[in-house]
Amino acid sequence: MNLSSRKFIVGLIFLVVGILFIIRLFNVQILDDKYKSESEDNVLRKEIQYPARGLIYDRKGELLVYNEAAYDLMVLPRQVKEIDTLAFCKLLEIEKEEFLKKFLEAKNYSRYKSSTFLKEISSISYANIQEQLYRYPGFFVQTRTLRKYPRNSAAHILGYIGEVNQKVIDNNSYYKSGDYIGKSGLEYSYEELLRGTRGVKRVLVDVHNREKGSYLDGAKDTMAVTGTILYTTLDIVLQEYGELLMQNKKGSIVAIEPKTGEILSLVSAPNYDPNMLVGRAVKQNYPILSRDTMNPLFNRALMAKYPPGSIFKTVQALVGMQAGVINEEASFPCIKSLVNCHNHPRATSVSSSIKMSCNPYYYSVFKRLIQQKRAKSIYKDSEIGLGIWSKQIKKFGFGVRLATDLPGINSGYVPDVGFYNRWYGEGRWAFSTIYSLSIGQGEVGVIPLQMANLSAIIANQGYYYVPHFIKVIDKVDSIPYQFARKESVGVDKKYFLPIVEGMYRVVNEPGGTARRAKIMESILVCGKTGTAQNPHGEDHSVFIAFAPKENPQIAIAVFVENAGFGGTWAAPIASLMIEQYLTDSISNKNLRKQQRILDANLLNVKVKK
What is the reported pLDDT for 375?
94
What is the reported pLDDT for 609?
38
Higher per-residue pLDDT: 607 or 509: 509
Average pLDDT over residues 391-402: 96
Closest of 451, 458, 452, 420 to residue 436, by C-alpha:
420
Q: Where in 11-156 does DSSP place strands (E)?
A: 44-49, 56-57, 63-75, 115-121, 139-148
Against a cut of 0.75, is the pTM above it? yes
Give tens-digit pLDDT for 73-106: 888 888 888 888 899 898 888 898 999 999 998 8
pLDDT, averaged across the chain: 88
Task: Give bridge partners of residue 310 from the DSSP assignment.
Answer: none
pLDDT at 608 over 50: no
pLDDT at 395 over 90: yes
What is the reported pLDDT for 153?
96
| Domains of the chain by start residue, with CATH | 46-231 (3.90.1310.10), 236-599 (3.40.710.10)
33: Cβ contacts below 8 Å, ≥ 6 apart: none
pLDDT at 461 over 90: yes
Dist. CA 246–CA 253, nearest whole Å? 8
**Does residue 309 come out as left (phi exceeding 0), alpha (psi in the -120 to 50 range) or beta?**
left
What is the reported pLDDT for 418?
96
- Cα 259 to Cα 405, 461, 488: the distances in Å are 18, 11, 13
Average pLDDT over residues 549-573: 93
Give tens-digit pLDDT for 3-62: 566 666 766 776 777 777 777 766 655 555 554 544 455 567 677 778 889 999 999 999
247: exposed, middle or buried (C-beta count within 10 Å: 0-12, 13-18, 19+)? middle
